[in-house]
Amino acid sequence: MNAIPDWASRNVSRETVDKLQAYAALIRKWTPKINLVAKSTLADLEVRHIWDSAQVFEERPGVWADLGTGGGLPGVVVAILAQEQKREMQCILVESDQRKAAFLRTCARELELPIIVMAQRVEDIPPLCAHTISARALASLDMLLGFAQRHLTEDGLCIFQKGAQWRQEVAEAEKNWRFAYEAVPSKTDVEAVVLKIKDIQRV
């Protein structure tokens, strides 16, 4: 694996780095078949995807649901980091693409991760009562807040990764929702942020 970023090196053990490396190897193996990530990003997979996902991890108890997880970004990475911290966290990965869901189950088996894979559309599953919800490249913020209202506990936290247009997305979402948010600068992309959102109410 590429050099560990300074912000992660203090908190990530060699064993966890090895497991992240094994996960990266699985992505590289499966991507030519089912396009887990853009093939153009495989050369820089660790920074563009693995460490980009790792930055959202927080030591939070309860259920962590990753919506539209695709190849497990950030859900699988979160599960690996939670395992290192020995957190009693239940990770639920929601992905409607059956081929990607099969990949996620392979990750769970080969990496020995206690994750639950739900191969359904986010709109179709019963409320998850999640304490934390993450999403990386799923939908507009306005739509994500609709998912959160259904699946988040009352005192829960959303952690959404957004790109350069995040301010515009917030402005659009505020037409339909009231919410408190913090925009944390991304550690891997100068134009991106990690939005931490709570207290969601429809206008």
Residue 194 annotated in ligand binding: no
- Tell whether 73 is in a known binding site: yes
What does the alpha-carbon distance between residue 101 and residue 141 come to, in Å, rounded to a whole number? 24
Q: Is the peptide bond before 74 cis (omega within 30 degrees of 0)?
A: yes
Compute the distance between CA of residue 89 and CA of residue 35 in angstroms, rounded to an integer. 29
Rounded CA gap, 164 and 182, in Å? 15
138 annotated to bind ligand: no
Helices and strands: H and E segment counts in the chain: 8, 7
Residue-wise burial string across 118-150, b where 16 or more C-beta atoms lie within 10 A, e elsewhere: bbeebeebeebebbbbbbbebeebebbbbbbee
122 is in an annotated binding site: yes
What DSSP character marks residue 74?
Answer: T
In Å, what is the CA distance from 158 to each residue of 46, 168, 199, 200? Answer: 24, 18, 10, 10
The CA R_g of the chain, rounded to the nearest whole Å, is: 16
Ligand-binding site membership of 104 (annotated): no
Whole-angstrom Cα distance, residue 118 to residue 52? 23
Q: Which residues are annotated as a binding site for S-adenosyl-L-methionine?
A: 68, 73, 122-123, 136
Pick out the residues of the known binding site.
68, 73, 122-123, 136
